[in-house]
Structure 1
Amino acid sequence: MADRPLPVVLDVDTGVDDALALLLAARHPGLDLRAVSCVAGNVGVDQVVANTLRVLDAAGAGDVPVARGADRPLVEPAREARHVHGEDGLGDLGLPRSHRRAEGVHAVELLRRAVLDAPEPVTLVALAPLTNVALLLRSHPEVGPRLARVVVMGGAATGGNATAAAEFNVWHDPEAAEVVLGAGLPVTLYGLDVFYEVALTAAEADALAASGEPAAALAGRLVRHQVARLGGVSGTLGDAGAVAAALDPGGLRTERLPVRVELAGRWTRGQTVVDRRAPHDRAADPLGPPGPPVDVALQVDADRYRRLFLDAVTGVPSWAA
């Protein structure tokens, strides 16, 4: 981790795990959260904005600008995931309405300003369908060189969750994913191969929920929602792991591999086709050369990221506990 805070912007569709990611990004002293853009995904975009503002309140975040972005994918209608995140997207916890206000500009414009006005290159952590990010790169190509890295929570080398083949964020807007992954930028694909590994136990969630610290208490309640929904003994931190990867990339093992997004298949639309063949086999591909390679996360140090998250939301370093 760097000596100075890492400047980041987050693109979110704030459901339960986006909320955990926001808590980490707003609370960790190693991150400088410069803006948050909202997009339709887990819930509708207006609910995403409301949820984001509520979570920033609980995090005790400073004056972080938030803006409303795309309300549907580039091609298809929006498709929500309330069955996972609750009717309000935040586990139906009944959080109070925020007094914060969203910015009066589109999220793409907020992202453009946040990146270009920063004194150094910015890391964009995309935790949602990639509609806003694709629109940003196509509308404002000057932003690309000012991005130090794009960390995408999306895709997988094997399998999916929205369908048997496709992960939700990419499946929701595969055309946008194709734009972003094909842009030739430094990209880390933090997908389902590592997504579920970083988790808290039910006992840890209960301890956080009982905290007098609002950020820790909300984190605990959100993870308890995950535990209850899955009927298990732990709850994933999900998107928060992608924020941890931006802050501490040494916790990931990645391989630099070409990735295509399937746009046409009936059963496989939205699949990220990770090409793990030898270079000479790729070169002979009858479908043509693969796109630019990205850093695909294949293994994660789950305990390292778990401790990083707990340190941030509680304000107590794990070594001092």
Structure 2
Amino acid sequence: MTGRPPVPVIIDCDTGVDDALALLFAARHPGLDLRAVTCVAGNTHVDQVVRNTLTVLEQAGAPEIPVGRGAERPLIEPPRDAHHVHGRDGMGDLGLPAPVRRPAGVDAVTLLRREILASDRPVTLVPTAPLTNIALLLRTHPEVTANIERIVFMGGAVATGNATAVAEFNVWHDPEAAAVLLTAGVPVTMYGLDVFERVLVPPPDVRRLRESAEPGARLAGRLLSHRGPATGEHDPRGGLGDAGAVCSVADPAGLTTHRLPVEVNLAPGPARGQTVVDRRPRPGEAELHGEMREQRLVDVALDIDADRYVRLYLTTVEAAGPRGRRAPQDARR
């Protein structure tokens, strides 16, 4: 540790398997101060997301972090879940117990505004889900941008999509919300599929986590062992997925980004939800003929030190217990 104070972080998630891995890491890394978690429909319906989130925080032994229920559906599109990947309950159908904890008494947007404005230092937002809550926050309470350090979102792709040939699930689920995020006027990092799929935990480490006597580490192992059609029944490795985005906040040096123009395709058709990333070294014919488009500069993740983040994740989650950084009187809500 460098002696620097922990980074104030808020995670906005649709807690499925890899969102849960991200929460376990955020609750335990000493360089992160997890101030709140907000929930949105995505991998599963929002009430199940809230339940999953509370259960994970309990299993992690996290302090009483406020959890807010957010949007039930995208701004325009109908809700479309990912049960085929994450199971009926969004958590690999592991049969986890119902949480004892209860969500905060305010909605996600209200909770986001309150925690951002109350922070004594600028907050880093880490959305690992469709961006509906974030878009509603930015449009309803634009004053929060003055106390947002950066938004590091898991979403988008430079190359190949997963929801469609070109669109990644979180952006495809609510393209308009993603477009709002890119015009927020705060620094944005896009942790997309180009790096998302590369951080894989080796089989011996997955087995060791599964056999741990410590509940949080054991849950991480069970989640990493989940096998849906996206991973394959015979693939023994476990993908960190969304957790890699949180690792990049704790250890930015493991992520290589390039500042590039990005826009979201909002038109109907097969390219809807695509993050169009302009990697050209010079203007093309469209620009030369005066057909200029408004594009936002985003720090796009193009390379990652996967082994570094795997080591960081394992070291953090296998620590003796969570780092409770908030004093009891601050565990409000």
How many residues were matched structurally?
316
List aligned pairs for 1:1-321, cutoff 5 A: 3-226=4-227, 229-230=231-232, 231-281=234-284, 283-284=287-288, 287-315=291-319
Q: Please, what is the CA RMSD of the aligned residues?
A: 1.5
- The 3 A distance-change label for structure 1 pair 4 and 263 is same
**Which string of whole-angstrom CA distances, capped at 9 and with x for unpartnered residues, describes residues 32-61 of structure 1?**
000000000000000000000000011100
**Gap regions ≥5 residues in structure 1:** 317-321
Query: Offset of 1:309 from its aligned partner?
Result: 0.6
Report the TM-score when normalising by structure 1. Answer: 0.95
CA deviations 1:178-230 (Å, max 9, x no partner) are 00012231000000000011111222111101001111100000000048842
Provide the rounded CA distance (Å) in 2 between the counterparts of 1:226 and 1:118: 39
Q: By how many angstroms is 1:70 displaced? A: 0.3
Gaps of 5+ in 2: 321-333
SS in structure 1 of the partner of residue 41 of structure 2: coil
Structure number with the bigger relative contact order (C-alpha 8 A, sep ≥ 6) is 2
Report the CA distance shift for 1:206/1:63 in structure 2 as closer, same or farther (over 3 A): same
For residues 278-313 of structure 1, give each alpha carbon's deviation from its aligned partner in whole angstroms, at most 9, with x where no partner exists. Answer: 353384375423322000000000011111110111
After superposition, what is the alpha-carbon deviation per residue over 1:132-173, rounded to whole angstroms, capped at 9, x for unaligned?
A: 000000000010121101001000111100111100000000
Secondary structure of 1:225 counterpart = coil
Structure 1 residues 226 and 309: CA distance shift in structure 2, 3 A: farther
User: What letter is aligned with 1:250?
Assistant: A
TM-score (norm 2): 0.92
- The one-character-per-residue Cα deviations of 1:245-285 (angstroms, maximum 9, x if unpaired) are 11111111111001110111411110000011235338437
Q: Is the 8 A contact 1:79 1:172 kept in 2?
A: yes
Please tell me the residue identity of whatever aligns with 1:140: H
- Asked if structure 2 preserves the Cα contact closer than 8 Å seen for 1:227 and 1:235, the reply is no
Residue deviations 1:90-145 (CA, integer Å, cap 9, x gap): 00001111110001111001000111000000000010000000000000001012
Q: Name the % identity.
A: 60
In 1, Cα distance between equivalents of 2:190 and 2:316: 23
User: How far apart are the structure 2 equivalents of 1:220 and 1:284?
Assistant: 53
| Secondary structure, aligned partner of 2:136 | helix
Q: Distance in 2 between matches of 1:161 and 1:305?
A: 23
| Higher fraction of helix | 1
Runs of 4+ in 1 over 6 A off after TM superposition: none
The letter of the residue matching 1:311 is T
Distance 1:287 1:184 in 2: 24
Instruction: Give the 3-state SS of the residue equivalent to 1:84 in structure 2.
Output: helix
Q: Give the whole-Å Cα distance in 2 for the aligned partners of 1:288 and 1:131.
A: 28
Distance, in Å, in 2 between the alignment partners of 1:113 and 1:74 is 22
| 8 A contact 1:36–1:67 mirrored in 2 | yes
- Aligned residue type for 1:277: R
Distance (Å, rounded) in 2 between the aligned partners of 1:206 and 1:307: 15
Contact 2:128 2:154 in 1 (8 A): yes
